[in-house]
Amino acid sequence: MLGFLRKPKKRICVIGLDGVPYSLLRVLAADGTMPAMAELCAQGHLQPMKVTLPEISAVSWTSFMTGAGPGTHGIFGFIDLKPGSKETRFPSFRDVQVPTLWDRLGQKSKKSVVINQPSTYPARPIQGVLVSGFVALDLRKAVFPARLLPDLKRLNYETDIDTQRAREDHDYLIQSLHSTLEGQRSLVDLLWDREEWDYFQVVTTGTDRVQHYLWNAIADTTHPYHTVVRQYYRAVDRFIAEIVERYRQKAGREQGLTGLFLLSDHGFTAIKREFNLNAWLRQEGYQRLEQATEPTLQNLSPDSRAFALDPSRIYFNRKDRFRDGCVETAEVGNLTEEMSSQLLALRNEGEPVVREVFRCADIYSGPCVPHGPDLIVLTYSGYDTKGNLVKNDLFTETDLQGMHTWDDAFFWAGESVDGDLMITDLATRFERFLS
Amino acid sequence: MMTQGFTLWFTGLSGSGKTTLSREMEGVLLERGMKVELLDGDVVRTNLSKGLGFSKGDRDTNILRIGFVCNLLTRNDVVAIAAAISPYEEIRQKNRQLIGRYVEVYCKCPLDILEERDVKGLYKKARLGEIKNFTGVSDPYEEPSNPEVIVETDKETVEQCVAKITRTLELLGYIPVIGNGAEYSAEEEEEIKRRLKALGYI
């Protein structure tokens, strides 16, 4: 007797490679460093993707996981202002104002396993498993459900490398990149079949770290770390290959690789100079630091009309926002125009620095827009915008080698996506796939 | 502030710390302005479940009765705390489904340590056959498959366990956050700063 043929369960698997640019991935796939990626490119579609501004992981990953921009999810940077104040704070997962993709899938009784997702600390309950990524401090608060904690300890799982030590000691960087990748591999191995899931996601952040500290070593064959950096990308490629193979087996022949997706949260490029926004504001007369005080935002002179927060956010010292503000609401329009034209005219060694200046209200929408900055500065490739208050030079050197870009993230899928792809488009696409 | 009720259900072997932690949590929740009712398994057996024994059927009836009362309390915006061995997963799941706003705390402690502690002398009696159907010795205990909190009472202090449970309730949005509402301590903020600086993010 013929039984009923059960349709295989639809599943999604997402691999996140933090900070890997589309342009670099194409090179590494083509030159043999990442053969599994090359195979995926042949079988599916690798395409560039834009991300929300500012192009940093805290914002980008939150935009990815909520399918919304900062005006809706409320995360504008790794650092933000306390309401009505110039005191700063570090937003956490609790500050995300809208449900994540996994929350929404959970409402439809779909289970998720999410490993090393940046900007989800402290972990909160989801239908399934969540292991927070950067800036997870304490593993006990980075894991839901708590029953997984002994497993993670047993696997010597680490949420991140010691970034300070890695910046100074590149041998340590390379060694710890491999050990954290190994931890992620072991966790995938443990949870893949043990947990029930409809959506499985793992993010590796080592790619971002190596690009910050050793970007030049990727292309420069004479660089002392060239070989070991390439070996790391090979290890990442093997990691991808293992997951792809697992997925093929789990999803079954009918589904193929249609539910497999890869992405990064921003691109990367080489740093030429850091561009210090607060130094520029002071030079142009928009900001003054009180003499003989510690240079903090609270110690700005009351007649300061603007200040900047990392990486590229300008806030007007508005009367309707800050107790000691001095900018009238009616002045905002003129101030925006004046400041934008000055920034666009800025040159360093004859070359333009600022590509565009966006008004927050023009690029964001949603209830959190009033909590965001007034302007976002987008620079040309190589100028890394900073909100450092102490530095007085407009352009400074740095030992960091790589900086983020907003229009060179990547997305890989079995099928191509028409038109410009934005990181906020993905959550809805995944939900639709599973519905 | 008006708060919604929920059930905080402690499960675990005899002597694993359910009563101690449930009483501690009663205090924490009262301090946060919640209405709280504690249903201790040992006490319930002297009234609500008087006459029931320790067969599988009687045990299930006892746990379902406690679950029934917890549900009534929960839907009337009271926090119901239950502390009962509740050895069977199926029955705990029934209560979870009935109540909805249900947080399970598994008080985990190895049997050999419990036998060593044996504050009430029950394990010794069970081993001697003086107590029949004793959970963990002559009756099964099914570990929870998906508890919201696991406290390892042989490794964690009472304070650590209470902090962990409280934190989970905060994260679930079941209890109000006290203090300045800041997510991180000053020490943690310094560590975040250090990491972000090293990446050039601040």
pLDDT, tens digit (0-9, with 9 covering 90-100), for B79-97 = 999 999 999 999 999 999 9
Residue B40 located in a structural domain: yes
Nearest CB to B188 within list A56, A137, A149: A137
Most confident of A30-39, B114-123, B146-155, B172-181: A30-39
Give CA–CA dist A133/A160, Å, rounded: 7
Cβ B194–A141 below 8 Å, yes or no? no
* Rounded-to-10 torsion of CA A229, A231, A233, A234: 170
Count of the separate structural domains present in chain B: 1
**B171, B191, B194 ranked by CB distance to A122: nearest:** B171
- For residue A311, pLDDT beyond 90: yes
Contact yes or no for B147 and A147 at CB 8 A: yes
For A273-397, CATH gives: 3.30.1360
B1 domain-assigned: no
How confident is the model at residue B164, as a pLDDT?
A: 77
**A52, burial (CB in 10 Å: exposed 0-12, middle 13-18, buried 19+):** buried
* Contact residues, chain A, for B202 at CB < 8 Å: 78-79, 310, 387
The minimum CA-CA distance between B129 and chain A, rounded to whole Å, is: 34
Looking only at the bridges linking them, the beta strands covering A267-270 and A260-263 are unpaired
Within-domain flag for B86 = yes
CB–CB contact B191 A386 (8 Å): no
> CA of A97, closest CA in chain B: separation in Å?
14
Q: Is residue B65 part of a domain?
A: yes
Q: Which pLDDT score is estimated for A6?
A: 59
8 A C-beta contact, residue B192 and residue A137: yes
Q: Pick the catalytic residue: B14, B16, B86, B138?
A: B86
* B12 falls within a domain: yes
Instruction: Say if CB A206 and CB A232 are below 8 A apart.
Output: yes
- pLDDT tens, residue by residue, A127-172: 999 999 999 999 989 999 989 999 999 999 998 899 999 999 999 9
Distance CA A319, CA A333 (A): 14
SS3 of A25-38: HHHHHHCCCCHHHH
List chain A residues with CB under 8 Å of B171.
122, 124-125
Token readout for A153 is 């300890």
Shortest alpha-carbon distance between residue A419 and chain B (Å) = 31
Residue A19 backbone class (left: φ over 0; alpha: ψ -120 to 50; beta: rest): left
Chain-chain contact of B184 with A387 (C-beta, under 8 angstroms): no
Residues recorded for chain B:
202
ipTM: 0.92
Contacts of A311 in chain B (CB under 8 A): 201
Look at B147 and A79 and tell me if their CB atoms are within 8 Å: no
In a domain, B194, yes or no: yes
In this complex, the residue of A90, A146, A164 whose CB is nearest that of residue B189 is A90
Amino acid symbol at A146: A
**β-sheet bridge partners, residue A351:** A348
A188 pLDDT more than 80? yes
For residue range A331-367, what is the model confidence (pLDDT) as tens digits? 999 999 999 999 999 999 999 999 999 999 899 987 7
CATH of the domain at B130: 3.40.50.300
Whether B55 is catalytic: no
Helix (H, G, I), strand (E, B) or coil at A262: strand
Split at pLDDT 50, 70, 90, the class of A72 is confident
Domain A12-270+404-434 has CATH 3.40.720.10: yes
What is the average pLDDT score of chain A?
94
User: What residues does A379 pair with on adjacent strands?
Assistant: A354
Residue B117 pLDDT exceeds 70: yes
Q: What is the mean pLDDT of residues A281-307?
A: 92
pLDDT-derived band at A1 (thresholds 50, 70, 90) equals very low
Residue B156 confidence (pLDDT): 77
Find the mean pLDDT for residues A98-116: 90
> Is B198 in contact with A124 (Cβ distance < 8 A)?
no
Distance from CA of B79 to the nearest CA of A (A): 20
Which pLDDT band holds residue B11 (cuts at 50, 70, 90)? very high
Query: What residue spans define the domains of chain A?
Result: 12-270+404-434, 273-397
Q: How far apart are CA A350 and CA A222, in angstroms?
A: 30
Mark yes or no for CB contact B183/A90 under 8 Å: yes
Closest chain A C-alpha to B162 CA, distance in angstroms = 14
Question: Is the Cβ pair A163, B199 closer than 8 Å?
Answer: yes
Number of H helices and number of E strands within chain A?
14, 21
Which residues in A lie closer than 8 A to residue B188 (C-beta atoms)? 137
One-letter amino acid of A77: G
For an interface test with B, the pick among A56, A94, A153, A269 (most B C-beta atoms closer than 10 Å) comes out as: A94
Sequence-separated (6 or more) residues with CB below 8 Å from residue A292: none
Residue B51's domain comprises 6-198
